Amino acid sequence: MKERVQREEERGSYAFAARRRAIERVGLPEVRNYRLMRLDEEERLWRDGLSRRTQVVPELVPILLVRIVGGEPGA
């Protein structure tokens, strides 16, 4: 699990860096700044999601489910 998240982080970092280089090469300065700002926000959200997946969360699985139904007294 840890290795998979690490590989995903490496691939994502590479992809964001490539997109950043492409944005920096083309367009008017205002447009580049806007696109870079959006890319920064997208990367931040992606990294937040990635960090949530690395946190350990216990899984609760019921072993036994019991249903108690009331009946008539003395029956």
Number of domains in the chain: 1
Q: What is the pLDDT of residue 53?
A: 84
| Residue for token pair 């960090």 | 51
Residue-level pLDDT at 74:
65
Instruction: Give the structural domain span for 18.
Output: 2-54
Residue 23 resides in a domain? yes
Answer yes or no: is 27 within a domain.
yes
> Using CA of residue 23, residue 27, residue 28, residue 30, what is the dihedral sign?
negative
Q: Which two tokens stand for residue 10?
A: 């490496």
Between 24 and 5, the more confident residue is 24
Q: Do 16 and 43 touch, CB atoms closer than 8 A? A: yes
| Domain presence at residue 15 | yes
Query: Cβ neighbours of residue 27 under 8 Å, at least 6 residues apart?
Result: 35
Collapsed DSSP state (helix, strand, coil) of residue 17: helix
